Amino acid sequence: MQTYTVQPAGSIRGEISVPGDKSISHRSIMFGSLARGTTTVRGFLRGEDNMATLNAFRMMGVEIADDGEVLTIAGRGLHGLREPEDVIDCGNSGTSIRLLTGLLAGQRFFSVLTGDQYLRKRPMKRVVGPLGLMGAVIHGRDGGEKAPLALTGSPLTGIDYTSPVASAQVKSALLLAGLYATGETRVTEPHRSRDHTERMLAHFGADVRVTEQGAAVSGGREMEGREIVVPGDISSAAFFMVAALIVPGSELLIRGVGVNPTRTGIIDILLAMGGDIQLLNRREVSGEPVADLLVRSSSLKGIEIGGDVVPRAIDEFPVVGIAAALAEGTTTIHDARELRVKETDRIAASAANLRQAGVSVEETPDGMIVSGRGRLDGCTVDSRGDHRIAMSMLVGGMAASGPVTVTDTACIATSFPSFLPLLEQVSRR
Ligand code: S3P
């Protein structure tokens, strides 16, 4: 099992770029494959999750060339996918399996989707249920709640669905199915989740519209290939933002980060905690807003976090826990029950790991209460196979009073294969 130990840093300094956005990378393969003609993708994230999506489309007959810099996708049009001859393995990737479930439900062929030991435990009914209302025929373990999922492609009808959870994966699965459905497919959410699917559908020329609290698509319209430039992943930048904030004497410039307002909850949270973060050189790339982030070490204070900001920062709570532990005062996180069904239960994992580092944490059903302590103790913790849990504790180790060891760090490659060298690069002793 891979294990990694970080030593406390003297400061975090320099200029970096983080790899491409994971959500946008998945969608670039999907829409590029379904469009007619060529799509090129620059800045594609070559993490394990995105490679699972790429392999799935290769299995369905899509030619995708990779020269190491640019992906070139020979799009096959809405009805050009071929039946995969084998089970599609989505690995650890929730986005791959849930979005593919929506996309494959309306094909004219049979397919089976599965994943690793963690993904096979995660809830799928949230997409299987509403897709069934559209006419999809999907079978899975536990009445369709758990993968493997077997899909018998069938004709679909648009629905007007109000989702009980703010989930971009649910919304996107239904919109993808909606491309094949008769009529309009409309999804409404309790809070707006990331909108990369809607933006990219519009960019490719699909018949999509943004609604008051969600999105709608009408089926049948072909899309055209496009050039995509994937911005840096704010969820990856978040680890470096927090590292620079919590280690005294730090100043870090993170270039080319996607700052789509449905993703910038982490910036809002850290600013509210007193973080010194400036957004410089704002611009737009492939329909997505981008900026450079200048981050300087700051005295953080505890805050209350809940409501709308939660889906806008949903992947960042493990590292918010680190910021909270290093802050002065109490941070209360609520409305974040979704964290319990991520790659692991991120409330339980964060609480257990912070306690190992000497921090007092109270778990609640939908969040946690962290008593800021201004430092972490050196410790050994386990990632539970979750990339963001692993990276968060290594960031915490930058400001700990002794070495922090994380066991089972291979999972970092799912989203951020260059994380460890980049962390070493910016750490001054
Ligand atoms: C994602 C949506 C979010 C997020 C995940 C990526 C996406 O999941 O946690 O990392 O690309 O659509 P949920 O839809 O389950 O909130």
Q: Give per-residue pLDDT as tens, 119-148.
A: 999 999 999 999 999 999 999 999 999 999
pLDDT at 17: 98
Ligand 1 atom closest to Cα of residue 99 = 12
Max CA separation in the chain (angstroms) = 61
- Kindly report the protein residue whose alpha carbon is nearest to atom 9 of ligand 1: 315
Please tell me the distance from the alpha carbon of residue 111 to that of residue 243, in angstroms, as a whole number. 43
Please tell me the distance from the alpha carbon of residue 386 to that of residue 271, in angstroms, as a whole number. 26
| The model scores a pTM over 0.85 | yes
Complete DSSP assignment for 367-386: EEEEE--S-B--EEEE-TT-
Beta strands in 212-303 (DSSP E): 214-218, 227-229, 251-258, 276-285, 288-296
Identify whether 19 is preceded by a cis peptide bond (ω within 30 of 0). no
pLDDT at 429: 85
Q: Assess whether the C-beta atom of 195 lies below 6 angstroms from ligand 1.
A: no
Q: Give per-residue pLDDT as tens, 13-66.
A: 999 999 999 999 999 999 999 999 999 999 999 999 999 999 999 999 999 999
Residues of the chain with pLDDT under 50: none
Please tell me the distance from the alpha carbon of residue 381 to that of residue 378, in angstroms, as a whole number. 10
Backbone angles phi, psi at 14, to 5 degrees: 130, -165
Question: How remote is the CA of residue 95 from the centroid of ligand 1, in Å?
Answer: 6
Q: DSSP 3-state assignment of 316?
A: helix
AA identity, residue 368? M
Q: Assess whether the C-beta atom of 168 lies below 6 angstroms from ligand 1.
A: yes
Question: How remote is the CA of residue 217 from the centroid of ligand 1, in Å?
Answer: 20
pLDDT at 304: 98
Please tell me the distance from the alpha carbon of residue 305 to that of residue 296, in angstroms, as a whole number. 22
Q: Assess whether the C-beta atom of 353 lies below 6 angstroms from ligand 1.
A: no
- Cα–Cα separations (whole angstroms), residue 21 to 41, 235, 237, 347, 415: 12, 8, 10, 24, 9
Backbone angles phi, psi at 224, to 5 degrees: -115, 145
Q: Which helix (H) or strand (E) holds 142?
A: helix 141-144
Strand partners, 330: 371
315 is catalytic: yes
Q: Which of 23, 119, 337, 391 to mutate to test the pocket of ligand 1 (most atoms within 8 A of CB)?
A: 23
Cα-only R_g, the chain: 21
Q: Assess whether the C-beta atom of 45 lies below 6 angstroms from ligand 1.
A: no
Ligand 1 atom closest to Cα of residue 168 = 14
Backbone angles phi, psi at 236, to 5 degrees: -80, -40
Q: Which of 193, 195, 230, 266 to mutate to test the pocket of ligand 1 (most atoms within 8 A of CB)?
A: 193
186: tokens are 């409309």
Q: Which of 29, 31, 167, 416 to mutate to test the pocket of ligand 1 (most atoms within 8 A of CB)?
A: 167
Q: Among residues 89, 315, 386, 408, which one is catalytic? A: 315
Question: How remote is the CA of residue 156 from the centroid of ligand 1, in Å?
Answer: 24
